[in-house]
Amino acid sequence: MSALETAETKQNLRRIAIDPVTRVEGHGKVTILLDDNNRVHQVRLHIVEFRGFEAFIEGRPFWEVPVVVQRLCGICPVSHHLAAVKAMDHIAGYHSLTPTAEKLRRLMHYGQILQSHAVHFFHLASPDLLLGFDSEPTRRNIVGVAAQFPEIALQGVLLRKYGQEIIRHTSGKRIHGTGAIPGGVNKTLTAAEREELRREIDIMIGWARDAVGLVAQLHATRPDFYDAFGEFPSNMMGLAAPNGALELYDGSLRARDASGAMIFDQVPCSDYDSLLQEEVKPWTYMKFPHIRSLGAEAGWYKVGPLARIQTCDFIPTPLAEEERKKFMAQGGGKPRHGTLLFHWARMIEALHAVETIRDLLDDPDIVGIDLMGEKGERHTEAVGVIEAPRGTLFHHYRVGADDLVSYCNLIVSTTNNNQAMNEAIRSVAKDHLSGHEVTEGLLNHIEVAIRAYDPCLSCATHAIGQMPLQVDLRDASGALVGRRRKNFSGDAA
Amino acid sequence: MSEILAQLMLDGHKIAFEPGQTILQAALAAGVYIPHLCAHPEFEPHGSCKLCTVVVNGRNGSACTIKAMPGQDVLSDTPELNLRRRTLLQMLFAEGNHFCPGCEKSGNCQLQALAYDLEMFDPHFAQFFPAREADGTHPEAFLDFNRCIMCELCVRASRDVDGKNVFALAGRGRDTHIIVNSPSGKLGDSTFSIHDKAGQVCPVGAILPKEVGFVRPIGERLYDHDTIAEVALREDATWREGEK
Ligand code: SF4
Ligand code: FES
């Protein structure tokens, strides 16, 4: 764990708060303690999301939960929907799905991966990468990208839209639909809907390839910078298929250490709580999960695209696998840990998602009408795990004899990445902030690192008009000595 | 002497009625929709929700309780009345815990459909957030009184059709609520069956069959394509969800 988590003494340190972090979840806040020479002594990311949601679920009927949990997140509601329904399948007594139901759920999930990865990279991250971390903040957004790189912006928008159309056709709505129900799905894909989606698939595959190319090209402009920005070694966790393939919808848990050695493999998802432990720290509500056997100091890990493509043995679609191999080759066969490499991995996964969507659309089962599995013995407890766009997502429920949820535990991707994001911003603060006069552009470096992991749509939409950002400088006693602020329109004040 | 015709004026149009019909019944039979929630074609009128309030010869009254009479000049679809109806809906929304996005009745709910129809875009009033319980003790039915609008249709159905008296209204004023007539107060302990009439009449999502929530996809729900008025005026009278 980095030394920058807690300063040795708070005496004579100034405190900077980046609150809220733009283009990431609404309740993110970063605090930095600096001394008179602007040397960084402490950096912390505080996230106050998700508190209380478990209590909101307890007491609700189990079949309602997959729909209600979608409200947890504006950027990946489908992930919560599917993680919850996978648990509720077992609660309701459905231990296998019909081929059509499973494939329709997968289609929905890969549509979600595509739309989320597209919005994450094009809308939220590309402004920093294409226009510059310290470019004019009022133009550092998707509108600014569209002005300078209209084709890239358009492809990003259309890739996202294609993913949303898949979600609409499988869940009834582009956002917050109902599609998956315990035991199966509620909606067929009609032949006409399938044709509509098939018509554009080759274009999407082309654009997804271009997107991987774009990130690789950006990397090639400054390889040292891209590799080292927010770099820190860590364990990595993700789902894998029995043959070691990347698996985003349903697999077993696997983790490798920073050098790529296997820590555990093929652990059933239902054993997650014997594998992982969540640590509480006094300075934030967000818990810090770690691999129990390794302890809190050594056992934390990252999840999400960069972890997944390096935890699996291969990606089961050819174009994405080719890109993964190129990516790995640049690391000399060793895992790569630079924070900006998340975007590269993300676009490789987006390509994998489009390839998988093509295969699913070609599968005759996808237009089947057998939507519900056989009902068997019910369970009172179940765990549903899925690879959400941002990383592994755990839903764990117990349901009473009255069909109402009596216990609920969620470990969301953000929580899984909590320590990793803290490490990333500490690395960036140490390399880029320490010893310099603090400017908006330098502070944005911190945000760039967070955004590589975890932006959120609900905020992102605000970001188009610029979120307000306030930086407070305080002396050791906490008194405000200076304030820099930009308002909703992005003007500095 | 000339015969008195069984006709009245509704929003400037002449409509015929059968003697004994209420204004609401006459209007629906004539193909004119008047918003209503607590009225049901198979039950005696209740006159509690006041959504059906019309102006009859200059005076306010409930269309579901006032008998149709010759010479009545009835106003219903006016901006003033619709504004008041919207306010009534806002009060109903504020009074209970109505969380449409997560509700399995969404798309099949009369309260929600009326809110759309009357263009209610916000709750307007401060929410009461009443503490009400969900009851899952019955093997076939789930009760969620968070969504109850106290129309007493379940009370009437259980008493008048099922002959069971499973539901009753209790409390006063803000504390008014539906109770279950059983030793423990729980539905699982009562004589209720989901096949009872009382299990089929709730206009909102307060009395629900278990495990079938969200089975009907978006796009195929009762009010996905038709307004509540269009559904109510359908001749096959399948306008109450659950009665098919
Ligand atoms: S439970 Fe339903 S039918 Fe009974 S009073 Fe409440 S809203 Fe009306
Ligand atoms: S419908 Fe007439 S008062 Fe409710």
Ligand nearest to the CA of B151: 1
- Give the distance from residue A114's alpha carbon to the nearest chain B alpha carbon, in angstroms: 22
Which residues in chain B touch residue A59, judged by CB atoms under 8 angstroms apart? 134
Question: Given this model, what pLDDT does residue A454 score?
Answer: 75
Say how many Å lie between the CA of residue A42 and the centre of ligand 1: 57
Question: Are B134 and A177 in contact (CB < 8 Å)?
Answer: no
Q: Decide: B48 in ligand 2 pocket, CB within 6 A.
A: yes
Confirm or reject: Cβ of B50 under 6 Å from ligand 2: yes
Answer yes or no: is pLDDT of A346 > 90: yes
Q: Does A175 touch chain B (CB under 8 A)?
A: no
CA distance A321 to A133: 30
Residues 25-64 in A contacting B (C-alpha not used; CB under 8 Å): 59-61, 63-64
| Bridge partners (DSSP) listed for residue A267 | A253
What are the strands, taking DSSP E only, across chain B? 7-10, 13-16, 53-56, 59-62, 73-75, 134-135, 141-144, 167-170, 177-180, 207-209
CATH code for position B39: 3.10.20.740
- Residues B109, B192, single domain; the answer is yes
Distance B177 CA to ligand 2 centre (A): 18
The yes-or-no verdict on residue B244 having pLDDT over 60 is: no
CB contact under 8 A, A402 and B136: yes
Same domain, B24 and B49: yes
Chain B residues with CB under 8 Å of A63 CB are 104, 210-214
Q: Structural domain boundaries of chain A? A: 1-49+418-462, 50-417, 468-493
Residue A153 forms contact with B (CB below 8 Å): no
Ligand 2 neighbour B111 (Cβ under 6 A) = no
In chain A, which residues have their Cβ closer than 8 Å to the Cβ of B217? 172, 178-179, 186-187
**Best mutation target, B214, B220, B224, B225, to test chain A (most A CBs within 10 A):** B214
What is the DSSP code string of A340-395? THHHHHHHHHHHHHHHHHHHHHHSGGGG----B--B----SEEEEEEEETTEEEEE
**pLDDT over 70 (residue A476):** no
Is the distance from the beta carbon of residue B62 to the nearest atom of ligand 2 less than 6 Å?
Answer: yes
Ligand closest to B167 (CA) is 1
Secondary structure of residue A181 in the 3-state scheme: strand
Quote the number of domains for chain B: 2
- Domain membership of residue B90 (yes or no) is no
A178 → closest Cβ in B135, B212, B218: B218
pLDDT, residue A329, reads: 95
CB A292 within 8 A of CB A277: yes
State the average pLDDT over residues B169-195: 94
pLDDT reported for residue A459 = 35
Closest-CA distance, A169 to chain B, in angstroms, reads 10
Burial of residue A273 (number of CB atoms within 10 Å: 0-12, 13-18, 19+): middle
Cβ atoms A246, A308 nearer than 8 A: yes
Whether residue B109 sits in one domain with residue B73: no
Cα–Cα distance, A103 to A364 (Å, whole number): 10
Helix (H) or strand (E) holding A292: none
Q: Are residues B75 and B171 in the same domain?
A: no
What does the pLDDT read at residue A104? 97
The CA–CA distances, whole Å, from B145 to A245, A486, B15 equal: 48, 47, 39
For the segment A419-446, the average pLDDT, to the nearest whole number, is: 84
Taking the centre of ligand 2 as the mean of its atom positions, its distance from the CA of residue B87, in whole angstroms, is 15
pLDDT surpassing 50 at residue A26: no
Q: Do B211 and A63 touch (CB under 8 A)?
A: yes
* Tokens (6 digits) for A214: 């774009």
User: Is B91 among the domain residues?
Assistant: no
pLDDT at A413: 85
Cα–Cα distance, A202 to A204 (Å, whole number): 5
pLDDT of residue B150: 94
Give the chain A residue whose CA is nearest to the CA of B215: A186
More confident of the two residues B54 and A34: B54
**Per-residue pLDDT band at A6 (split at 50, 70, 90):** confident
Eight-state DSSP code of residue A430: I
Q: Which residue has the higher pLDDT, A70 or A256?
A: A256
- What does the mean pLDDT of chain A come to? 86
Q: Which residue would you say has higher pLDDT here, B3 or B55?
A: B55
* Amino acid occupying residue A150: P
Rounded CA-CA distance A137/A144 in Å is: 10
**Centre of ligand 1 from the C-alpha of residue B203, in Å:** 7
Q: What is the CATH number of the domain that holds B152?
A: 3.30.70.20
Phi, psi of A47 (to 5 degrees): -125, 130
Q: Which pLDDT score, from 0 to 100, does residue A145 have?
A: 86
CB contact under 8 A, B101 and A176: yes
Question: Does B132 share its domain with B213?
Answer: yes
Say yes or no: B50 and B139 in one domain.
no
Please give the angle made by the CA atoms of B105, B110 and B112, to the nearest 5 degrees.
Answer: 70
Residue type, A224: D
Distance B207 CA to ligand 1 centre (A): 7
Cβ-based neighbours of A488, under 8 Å, separated by 6 or more: A465, A466, A467, A468
Res A15: pLDDT: 74
What's the CA angle centered on B213, arms B210 and B217, to 5 degrees?
150
Across the A:B interface, residue pairs with CB atoms under 8 Å apart total 63
- Burial (Cβ within 10 Å: 0-12, 13-18, ≥19) of residue B153: buried
Mark whether B102 and B62 lie in a shared domain: no
Lowest mean pLDDT among A50-64, A255-269, A422-436, B45-59: A50-64
Ligand 1 residue neighbourhood (C-beta within 6 Å): B 148-154, 178, 201-202, 204, 206-207
Q: Which CA distances in Å does B56 have to A92, A449, B73?
A: 53, 68, 6
Distances (CA, A) of A126 to A73, A140, A306, A354: 22, 9, 17, 20
Q: Does A173 touch chain B (CB under 8 A)?
A: yes
State residue B179's pLDDT score.
95
Q: How deeply is A274 buried, as exposed, middle or buried, from its count of CB atoms within 10 A (0-12, 13-18, 19+)? A: exposed
For residue B91, the CA-to-ligand 1 centroid distance in Å is: 16
- Residues of chain A contacting residue B104, judged by C-beta atoms under 8 Å apart: 63-64, 67
Pairing of strands A235-240, A301-302: parallel
Nearest ligand (C-alpha, residue B240): 1
- How far, in Å, from the CA of B37 to the mean position of ligand 2? 6
Min Cα separation B220/chain A (Å): 9
Nearest-by-Cβ selection for B102 from A67, A173, A403: A67
What CA–CA distance (Å, rounded) separates A144 from B168?
A: 62
Q: How confident is the model at residue A72 (pLDDT cuts 50, 70, 90)?
A: confident
B37 in a domain, yes or no?
yes
CATH class of A50-417: mainly alpha
Residue whose entry in the numeric block shows the structure tokens 């979608």: A70
B144 shares a domain with B38: no
When pLDDT is averaged across residues B90-100 and rounded to a whole number, the result is 93
Query: Is A213 touching B (CB cutoff 8 A)?
Result: no
Per-residue pLDDT band at A134 (split at 50, 70, 90): confident
* pLDDT confidence tier of residue A127, bands split at 50, 70 and 90: confident
Both B189 and B211 in one domain: the answer is yes
Same domain, B133 and B177: yes
Supply the ipTM of this predicted assembly.
Answer: 0.88
Range of the domain at B171: 98-225
Please tell me which residue, A138 or B242, carries the higher pLDDT value: A138
Greater pLDDT, B62 or A463: B62
pLDDT at A75 over 90: no
- Specify the pLDDT at position A489: 38
Do B107 and B221 fall within a single domain? yes
Residue A487: what pLDDT?
Answer: 38
**Choice from B138, B152, B156, B194 to test ligand 1 binding pocket (greatest atom count within 8 A of CB):** B152
Residues B49 and B152 placed together within one structural domain of the fold: no
pLDDT in tens, A441-471: 777 888 888 888 876 523 332 233 233 344 4
Pairing of strands A14-19, B141-144: unpaired
Q: pLDDT tens digit string along B99-141?
A: 888 899 999 999 999 999 999 988 899 998 888 889 999 999 9
Q: Does A400 touch chain B (CB under 8 A)?
A: yes
- CA pair distance A419, A402, nearest whole angstrom: 38
Residue A429's pLDDT is what?
86
- Look at residue A69 in the predicted model and tell me its pLDDT: 86
- Cα A143 to the chain's mean position, in Å? 23
What is the arithmetic mean of pLDDT over A209-238? 94
